[in-house]
Amino acid sequence: MSATAASDVDDVPAPSSTRRERTGWYFYDWAMSAFSTTVITVFLGPFLTTVTELAAGCELGADTCSGYVYPLGIKVAAGSYFPYLVSLSVFLTVFVLPVVGAVADRSVHKKRLLAAMAFTGAAATVAMLFVTGDRYLLGGALFLVANIAFGAGVVVYNSFLPQLGGPDDRDGISSRGWALGYLGGGLLLALNLVAVQSLDNGQPERTLDLARWSIVSAGLWWALFTLVPLRWLREHPTAAALHGGGNVLTDGFRQLGRTLRQLKAYPLTLFFLLAFLVYNDGIQTVIALASQYGTEELRLGQSTLIVTILLVQFLAFGGALALGALAARIGAWKTVLLSLVLWTGVILGAFRLPAEAPLPFMALGAAIGLVLGGSQALSRSLFSQLIPAGREGEYYGFYEISDKGTSWLGPLAFGLVFQLTNSYRVGLVSLLIFFVVGFLLLLAVPMRRAIVAAGNTPPRVL
């Protein structure tokens, strides 16, 4: 362990938190999950694809569209526009998120930074109200702002985790946060489901309007419930923040530069991060493009998609807690490996789904729900064990590059395969490589040795 890391370990107090504070931390997951569920998973893909198809000259409500749009003069198939946007947003976050993490580590007011990111993302989401007609460029720009702000907020949020509990507590804390997030996201989705079923008269114009207002509701939900963690969380400034006296932004850039130069001192942490970036890219691509696959390839109605995602949300609440309990018995590392085997089965099952058959699609959604929350929650807590003390924000900045809604290679592969084959099923199969390679990489990580190398104490069970 480097001298700098050793000094940080000595200066930072042992993790301690109150139940009220942990509950406040859980509630940010409740708040932000409305964006990842209602916006990313359900409504935005089909909504923005429809707007893009209108801009490409296709008729509203047409079963197929082979038109093209030309953002910045680049020829893009209408069906590939949204996947390409997701990839572009992640390319931009590669530069933004580590800087946000470094600033968070240098700031004694991390909650203010969390508020800035959350309210910026929520405002961009609410502004989707103005994406009407063929304004696909406005919708794309707002999505980029919202998704980058979302990722930046998660970086700051995740950086609180190591201060909320010791090595043996973090799997449970992380799992409860994910579980409450799925419950909150599912509740808003249920309300949107009632609205869609009650107000949709079968006309494409009405369906598009309901999708737009559902997206807006997620922005309002995100902003409103962010007030809870801002009130209940306590600041946990790092030693660098307490001892620093310069400009937080410039100091953050300098610290990020030092961290990048020192990353080679933690090769096992980097190896875990590589494994996570690969397999979680596959997970996030499934989440982001599931609605588009259901709408365009399986020709399922919006109500079927919402019911399925709602099923995923509530089963993921129990799945996150169940896999968290399993991790307490066999260890988080083994539990995540098991979840990746199950994810491979999910992709194979999705490829074989028949078109216009809601029940098989819902059954697959139930399988996703059982494995989804645990694989993500336990990955987050595992990574917390591999971060040198005092560098939580920076390292979670790198981590978040492939976390909620910010996958890039998966959507890029999906979009390219679709553009070449005009088949969403073939695009889906291309995601298998992410789960297989991610499993092999994670299997090769010596977790206990990696945790010790980062200067931390391993949990009793790995």
Report yes or no: 230 and 111 within 8 Å, Cβ to Cβ: yes
pLDDT for position 15: 54
| Residue range 62-71: mean pLDDT, rounded | 79
pLDDT for position 8: 36
Q: State the pLDDT confidence band at 10, using cuts at 50, 70 and 90.
A: very low
Q: Which two tokens stand for residue 330?
A: 């066999």
Q: What whole-number distance in Å separates Cα of residue 282 and Cα of residue 316?
A: 17
Report yes or no: 179 and 14 within 8 Å, Cβ to Cβ: no
pLDDT for position 1: 36
Q: State the pLDDT confidence band at 255, using cuts at 50, 70 and 90.
A: low
| Residue range 313-319: mean pLDDT, rounded | 86
Residue with tokens 């991060």: 273
| Residue range 11-30: mean pLDDT, rounded | 78
For residue 7, pLDDT beyond 70: no
Backbone angles phi, psi at 189, to 5 degrees: -65, -35
Output Rg (C-alpha) for the chain, integer angstroms. Answer: 21
For residue 192, pLDDT beyond 80: yes
pLDDT for position 414: 77
Structure-model confidence comparison of residues 221 and 258, the more confident one: 221
**If you average pLDDT over every residue of the chain, what do you get?**
83
Which of 135-149, 173-187, 317-331 is the most confident on average?
A: 135-149
For residue 306, pLDDT beyond 50: yes
Q: What whole-number distance in Å separates Cα of residue 172 and Cα of residue 378?
A: 9
For residue 144, pLDDT beyond 70: yes
Largest distance between two CA atoms of the chain: 66
- The closest alpha carbon to 252, from 265, 241, 268, belongs to 241
| Residue range 184-202: mean pLDDT, rounded | 86
- The closest alpha carbon to 171, from 326, 23, 313, 337, belongs to 326
Q: What whole-number distance in Å separates Cα of residue 45 and Cα of residue 1?
A: 45
pLDDT digits (tens, 9 = 90+) for 432-458: 888 999 999 999 999 999 999 988 888
Structure-model confidence comparison of residues 289 and 404, the more confident one: 289
Q: Is 131 helix (H, G, I), strand (E, B) or coil?
A: coil
pLDDT for position 12: 39
| Residue range 325-331: mean pLDDT, rounded | 90
For residue 423, pLDDT beyond 80: no
For residue 408, pLDDT beyond 80: no
- From the centroid of its chain, how far is CA 284? 6
Non-local CB neighbours of 14 within 8 Å, separated by 6+ positions: 166
Q: State the pLDDT confidence band at 418, using cuts at 50, 70 and 90.
A: confident
pLDDT digits (tens, 9 = 90+) for 329-373: 999 999 999 999 999 988 888 888 888 888 888 888 888 888 887
Q: Is 77 helix (H, G, I), strand (E, B) or coil?
A: strand
pLDDT for position 16: 66
For residue 237, pLDDT beyond 80: no
Calculate the alpha carbon distances from 309 to 133, 176, 226, 304, 315 in Å: 27, 20, 23, 9, 10
pLDDT digits (tens, 9 = 90+) for 268-293: 998 998 899 889 888 878 876 777 78
Q: What whole-number distance in Å separates Cα of residue 5 and Cα of residue 389?
A: 7
16-38 core/surface letters (b: 16 or more CB in 10 A; e: else): ebeeebbbbbbbbbbbbbbbbbb
Q: Does the reported pTM lie above 0.85?
A: no
Structure-model confidence comparison of residues 258 and 460, the more confident one: 460
What percent of the chain is modeled with pLDDT above 90? 30
For residue 420, pLDDT beyond 50: yes
Calculate the alpha carbon distances from 243 to 98, 293, 375 in Å: 21, 51, 37
pLDDT for position 11: 38
pLDDT for position 249: 57
Q: What whole-number distance in Å separates Cα of residue 404 and Cα of residue 426?
A: 24
